[in-house]
Structure 1
Amino acid sequence: MDFYSVVKFLHVVAATVWVGGGFALMLLAVRADRAGDTQGMLQVMRSVGELGNRLFMPASLATLLLGLVMCWFWVGFADVWIIIGLAGYAATFLIGTLVFKPTADRMSALIAREGVTPAVLDNGRRILKVARFDYAVMLVIVADMVLKPTPSDVPVLLAMAAVFGLGLWAAFDGLRPAAAAAA
């Protein structure tokens, strides 16, 4: 076995932990929300807060660093699929750092001060909407890493753009209040 194969294996393992773990938590939150299970929602929110810095951040950084090692030594940085992957990583990293972590911290503080309030649950639901976009981006990244599109792979690039657009719609169109969405 060569060194590239070891680095690639570790890259895939780190990505699986990062993407798969977060996706499982998102599904648990959606399930709890749809069932009206307040305690389930709170448990998922606590888990996101606890695992953010301990699991997801290190796994995402390992994914990036191992990917950069492969690019530096073997692949290069000029291919379209590398650029898409790096842009997608930057987007999900920023969402995690600027949206998920601070919102989870604020929600934890609010719960400690006031208990479970409708405002806390509404914030949790808003995070779920943003998570839909985050996972649309991650789906694009996974497809990008597997399919490795070139500029001539227009159908693949269009499909990836459609998934990205649907993720945006699911996150930001759905942020309207329920009454406005029903109208």
Structure 2
Amino acid sequence: MDLYSSFKLVHVIAAMAWVGGGLTLIAQAIFRIREAGPREVLEVTRNMGLLALRWFLPSSALTLLSGLLMALLGGLWTQAWIVLSLAGFAVTFLTGHFILRVRGEKVFALQTEGREHEAVQEALALIRVSKFDYAVVLMVVFLMVLKPQWNDPAVIGGIAAVIACAGLVFLLPPKRRSTPRAQGENASR
């Protein structure tokens, strides 16, 4: 096995750990909230925080490092799929460091202060951002598999459209459901 193939193997295994772990946590959050209610998101958020430095940071860093070494060995720096994948990685790194980490710390602080309702709301918002973040990560995986070139506007446009839709769906605040009491008050006005 040559050096490029060795780095490719490391890259794929590290990416599986990173992407698979995150998707599992998001699925756990969705299932637990549906089964037991929004308070369950606090446990999932705690798990995310515990795994961030121990699992996600090392696996994503190893994915990046092995990918950079492959690009160097293969002379791939001008390829669309490499440039766009690095941009996607930058987005997800910045999202993780400046949004998910900060919100996770806020959830923990709110819990510590005994402000559980606010902690749940902040944790639910954190999960929405996580869903968007993983839409970006999945588009990076898509790029890695399809390897589009700069003259593939349909593929690149499709990826941009998926990311834009994910932003609309996951980042906008959810509509508040009107309660029967609120509907009754509105009817009496």
Q: How does the TM-score come out when normalised to structure 2? A: 0.88
If you compute each CA radius of gyration, which structure gives the higher value, 1 or 2?
Answer: 2
Q: Structure 2: which 5+ runs fail to align? A: 179-189
Distance 2:138 2:79 in 1: 19
Identity %: 35
Name the counterpart of 1:169.
168
Name the counterpart of 2:84.
84
User: In the alignment, is the contact (CA less than 8 A) between 1:132 and 1:170 conserved in 2?
Assistant: no
Give the root-mean-square deviation of aligned CA atoms. Answer: 1.6
* Paired AA for residue 10 in structure 2: L
Name the counterpart of 1:156.
155
Q: State the 1:39 CA deviation.
A: 5.4
Cα deviations across residues 50-90 of structure 1 (Å, max 9, x unaligned)? 00011101111111111111111213311111110000000
Distance 2:132 2:123 in 1: 15
Superposed, which structure 2 residues align to 1:25-174 within 5 Å? Answer: 25-38=25-38, 40-114=40-114, 117-173=116-172
Name the counterpart of 1:22.
22
Q: State the 1:133 CA deviation.
A: 1.1
Q: How does the TM-score come out when normalised to structure 1? A: 0.90
Q: Structure 1: which 5+ runs fail to align? A: none
* Paired AA for residue 90 in structure 2: A
Q: State the 1:113 CA deviation.
A: 2.2
Q: State the 1:37 CA deviation.
A: 3.3
Structure 1 consecutive aligned stretches of length 4 or more whose deviation exceeds 3 Å: 36-40
- The count of residues paired between Structure 1 and Structure 2 equals 178
What SS does the corresponding residue of 2:151 show, helix, strand or coil?
coil
